[in-house]
Structure 1
């Protein structure tokens, strides 16, 4: 008969096996609500850690669980967890190959040769690096300014943050627009990304905009356009080149970035980067994802001020996919196959429309990734996205 301490240890080890499987299961399970969405976003991004956790739990079960039925169940839990993690890890090199192929297809087989050697030397050397995963992607020193007010529409102060390379100079401008269902967020979001990109040789402007439901479309687009005008007017003060500008957005921010860049009267924009952004609002309203943790229709109603049935024309005007009547800046679209907020099929639809209309576009899809996959900066998906994003930026802004 087992002593009380051994029984406690047995159940602790078994609990670890269960927890390991529970966390790993969100690599494939779709989240039914916003609370569980955090797990669905994070699990694949930390899959190497989860692989180690399942391995440790398996070893502990072998050594410390003596009851056969409990040990067998614990083994099953850990083996399933290991298989789920292995699915991501095995797919990393295959995804690297596919993404490289897609970049060359969109930009040309020799697109990297058009980037100056000194720029290429600063970039990540591998699409995925285990050292960076466990130790973090190195962030070098940059200059940083915050709380820069660029406008006050309706009495709402709109601020921006500016990240600059450590040396004084004149750099291409990268304008970053945060996501948050058009309802929340601030310019400090994704600050690690902004710092990293600034050190690569860009002046990064992280801008703000008014939020729904109090302020509805087109207020957000107006604010982005106001920010672009402010940046162009004051470019010299921030060591930015207004003729070499790229817009980068995430989710709702990607939607605004595309809309701003695609306007017929938009200022000169060299390129747009869209991380999992809505492109077809009527399509998203008619066929929301399942499960639908964010309640897509409610979000769109809050943003637009009504339903698709009530405002069909406004939904059309607010959809980047309807702006393909004139030449557009090159566009990089990055989506996760498991995205249950903005499904990857819309990103592919946008890519196909851009490509068929003669515009330069690249569509990258990450098989295991959910919405907001880059919330884990050194995670699996963000490393792949960052690797190709910095090459796309350099191609658009430095190509010879």
Structure 2
């Protein structure tokens, strides 16, 4: 009976690979199930094998339940493998790439590896009357000037910092890119467009210190996650800095007006309150702020190439944001690519050696290799 109960719990957990998590802690569990699935698969196999050691009238039923759980737990790996077979050709075709990424998008062996990390240098990039802002600088090992990736962290515009998810920064620096992960002014004390102004200040600092930091100031790419992706997209489309050659959007809210009209389930996050803190009021009170903070409002024929990465089971930022962004980019003839991950939820890239983490890091490196290649 205990075996059947445990396998039934694992079956319920495995459903998070198919359905969006309905509550905050289930969302956190969904990240684990999708990207650290080997742990759950191993546990399921052990419990299934225990059926050979004990006799119970529930053994057959438990085995059926366990096999179904096992199949669902393996779904992210199977889907990642399937996507990986087509991804290189799709990105080459849709982005018209000349510089190809010859690495494998997905490897079963990488599922067993740990994510890399390195220690960055902390630099103060702007001093305001009421605060100082710093960035974490991951330097490439090079004597020549290299493209620079400016990273904007997530955290609902009110939390998080430049230390968030450093693994990709480490990988990019190892590939020859300079990486600057910035802190920015947070809500509710500061409202939009303060973070975009901080991105501008960071670009100014990096440009003025380009010689010592070995930065090619004609080759910046902005990269953001969640709330940070909204900031990165908005900055990329509005700053009109000729040095910005592209933007990478990890599951960011692109249409703030639409997003306010259809909030996330409150058991997951009070997304309306989050947006009100960032924009200074409700949509009724400050409608202009919602429109001017929506990246899709600024896309035109001169917008920079865009890479979007989003999981279909995102519980915090609706998948619809990326569809709307993709449509607007398509209509304006902007070079773009949307990596769709059917099983993944918000924050799936917490583990870069997981199924979604592998595909997303490959997509980022391939995109960068196309818009700001390391020479």
Q: How high is the TM-score relative to the length of structure 1?
A: 0.87
Q: Which of structure 1's runs of 4+ aligned residues deviate more than 4 A?
A: 13-16
1:31 maps to 21
Residues 99 and 291 (structure 1), Cα distance of their counterparts in 2 relative to 1, 3 Å cut: farther
Give 1:397 deviation, angstroms: 0.8
Supply the RMSD in Å over aligned alpha carbons: 2.2
* 1:151-191: CA deviation from partner (whole Å, max 9, x where unpaired): 13342221101111234332111111111110111111111
Cα distance in 2 for residues equivalent to 1:114 and 1:228: 26
Q: Contact 2:147 / 2:216 at 8 angstroms: preserved in 1?
A: yes
2:120 maps to 144
Give 1:208 deviation, angstroms: 0.7
Matches within 5 A, 1:292-303: 293-303=268-278
Q: Does residue 49 of the first structure (1) align with residue 39 of the second (2)?
A: yes
2:73 maps to 85
* 1:281-305: CA deviation from partner (whole Å, max 9, x where unpaired): 0010112245761121111111111
**Range moving further from structure 2, 125-134 or 46-55:** 46-55
Give 1:114 deviation, angstroms: 3.0
Residues 325 and 166 (structure 1), Cα distance of their counterparts in 2 relative to 1, 3 Å cut: closer
Give 1:89 deviation, angstroms: 2.8
Q: Does residue 187 of the first structure (1) align with residue 162 of the second (2)?
A: yes
Q: Contact 2:146 / 2:374 at 8 angstroms: preserved in 1?
A: no
The number of residues matched between the two structures is 375
Matches within 5 A, 1:285-324: 285-290=260-265, 293-324=268-299
- Partner residue of 2:136 out of 119, 141, 161: 161
Q: Does residue 135 of the first structure (1) align with residue 135 of the second (2)?
A: no
1:334 maps to 309
Q: Which has the higher contact order (CA 8 A, sep 6+)?
A: 2
- Partner residue of 2:244 out of 246, 250, 269: 269
Matches within 5 A, 1:1-400: 11=2, 13=3, 16-60=6-50, 62-69=51-58, 71-108=59-96, 111=97, 113-115=98-100, 120=101, 125-137=103-115, 139=116, 144-146=120-122, 148-263=123-238, 265-290=240-265, 293-398=268-373
Give 1:227 deviation, angstroms: 1.0
Residues 143 and 373 (structure 1), Cα distance of their counterparts in 2 relative to 1, 3 Å cut: closer
Cα distance in 2 for residues equivalent to 1:267 and 1:50: 47
Q: Contact 2:87 / 2:105 at 8 angstroms: preserved in 1?
A: no
Q: Which runs of 5+ in 2 are unaligned?
A: none
Larger Rg: 1
Q: Contact 1:235 / 1:241 at 8 angstroms: preserved in 2?
A: yes
Local SS of the residue matching 2:74: helix
Q: How high is the TM-score relative to the length of structure 2?
A: 0.93
**Range moving further from structure 2, 282-291 or 207-216:** 282-291
Give 1:83 deviation, angstroms: 2.0
Cα distance in 2 for residues equivalent to 1:314 and 1:205: 28
